[in-house]
Chain A
Amino acid sequence: MKRISDYEDHELRRAFSSLSRLKSSERAVGELSRRLEKEPGIKFRKVPFNRIRREVLVAVFTTLLIAVPLTFFFTNKYTKLEPPPKSYIVRFVYENEEAKSVVLLGDFNNWQKDEIVMQRVEGSDVWVAEVRLTEGLYKYGFLVDEINIVSDPFSRFNVKDGFGNESSFIVLTSTEEEGGPS
């Protein structure tokens, strides 16, 4: 009987290539490969995860199948998909003939003194600044000459600031929905 080492390379290659097409039990293929491993000069190229590939695929697929809907359900970013809040360009106007500088500060800029410097309209006592704001409610005031913070004298809304003074505030909301019966 011919031993495996007696075969030429091309003969062996042809013989092995036909193995994958043969219908044989997993046990028989396993037994054959164990025997072949003992033969001198024969090396197997191991395919990583070959045996457990199917199990891994099933596990990963099942995990995804459960994880994806759960992630969408529980993550705020996915469940509360909303259009971005509407934004408005708001023009703030303040009139003061004696002021040397006027700065607009409020909730929208964390009350920062150096962010929104109002511009004086040439030839007038009117100070103007335009700010893009998203819908919401914002307290604001005018810092005059880097000393006094004054509220807007003509604001429709004023609120106690909690420190013994008042701040003006604006309400920016859409008029599309007035809130009928729910």
Chain B
Amino acid sequence: MKLMIPLIAGIIVLSMPAIAIPGTAREEASSLVAALDKVYGADVDTEALKSAVSEAVEAGIPSELMETLVRESASKGRSPKEVSGYIEIASDLHSNGIPSELIFNTVLEGFVKEVDKETMENTIGMLRSKLLFCNETAQRHTGRRGGKQSRHELLLTALFYTMNTGFNKSQITTLSKAEADEKLGSLHFFNILKISMELQNLGLDNGSITVLIERSIRQRVSIHQMSQYPSIVREGKVQGLSDEQIYSSIFNQTDKAFPPERSDSKKSTAAEMSAPQPEGGGGGREGGLPPGGSPGGRK
């Protein structure tokens, strides 16, 4: 009898994920679907939207996100057919392990910017293929199984944004291959992408950035050193140097730090690779300012 109580408790606890979670998802889905009836009229498109919402929530897409999407689409007068199209794409991506937030945030951004249906659908379609490519690339660096989910998502998002700044699949593949060849970690790749995006934002050509970064990776230039590149570019631009002059100045500095006989070897230490980045290195401190959330804009 003494054994029975913990055993029964154990069985109940073990069966909870199997019983409670799908039950909750089903309840959330049905309450959302019920709310849809009030928002849209009862027609074929609304039925399609209801079924898309229901399937998406049961598949694990956060119901809060779905609720926001449905609410916003209704308030912006978007048709149920259009919205169900976005939900289907998000569900498809979700089944491939891609966070639905990445698509939904773009949809919501489009809604708030009052983008027309045709442009929205084209953009979302393009983003879908980009996300699938980014997910595949990220998986090569974080591993399909056992990798930390948050790390995978971080790299996936960084790849996605890098592509949205204008880098194409071939350039991303070049960087990814260099990282993989040098057996560098996913966080290293993440930082590489961050530097590439910053250089791109400074007006450098994506092709040249790819060449510069690939060369730096293969020469085992530390992240600390690479994070100086944007400052070098900024200074060069102020001095009125051409892009070629800026690149040669970067290469000169790199070659000085890593002469050929050493830079080709793979003996750079972990300390070199893990030196802290300046300017917060992409991470704000508690109460501090992050690099991206720059203080102050002027109209």
Name which of B120, B188, B284 has the most chain A CB atoms within 10 A of its CB: B284
User: Are B161 and A137 in contact, CB atoms less than 8 angstroms apart?
Assistant: yes
- What residue in chain A is nearest B296 (Cβ atoms)? A93
Determine the distance from Cα of A90 to Cα of B287 in the docked complex, in whole angstroms: 7
Query: Which of A75, A111, A157 is within 8 Å of B292, CB to CB?
Result: A157
Assess the B187–A177 pair: CB atoms within 8 A.
yes
A162:B126 contact, CB within 8 angstroms = yes
Central interface residue in B101, B126, B127, B185, by most chain A CB within 10 Å: B185
User: Quick one: which of A64-102 are within 8 Å of B by CB?
Assistant: 64, 67-68, 71, 75-76, 79-80, 82, 85-99
The 8 A CB mask of B162-176 against A (1 = contact, 0 = none) is 001110000000000
Q: Are A170 and B14 neighbours in the complex by a CB distance under 8 Å? A: no
A36: interface (CB < 8 Å) = no
Contacting chain B: which of A4-12, A14-22, A148-156? A148-156
Contact with A along B33-51 (1 / 0, CB 8 A): 0000000000000000000
| Complex interface bits, B277-299 against A, C-beta within 8 A gives 1, otherwise 0 | 10011111111111111111111
Q: Residue A90 contacts which of B101, B161, B166, B284 (CB distance < 8 angstroms)?
A: B284
B184 within 8 A of A: yes
In contact, B105 and A180 (Cβ under 8 angstroms): no
Instruction: Look across to chain B and name the residue whose beta carbon is closest to the beta carbon of A182.
Output: B185
| Chain B residues near A88 (CB-CB < 8 A) | 283-286, 288, 290
User: Cβ of A154 and Cβ of B150 under 8 Å apart?
Assistant: no
14 extra A-B contacts, CB within 8 A, seeds A135-B154, A150-B297, A179-B185: A57-B3, A57-B4, A63-B11, A76-B149, A87-B286, A92-B293, A95-B299, A112-B68, A135-B150, A159-B165, A160-B164, A162-B127, A163-B123, A182-B183
User: Footprint of B on A, CB under 8 Å?
Assistant: 57, 60-61, 63-64, 67-68, 71, 75-76, 79-80, 82, 85-99, 105, 107, 110-113, 126, 135-139, 142-144, 149-150, 152-165, 167-175, 177-182
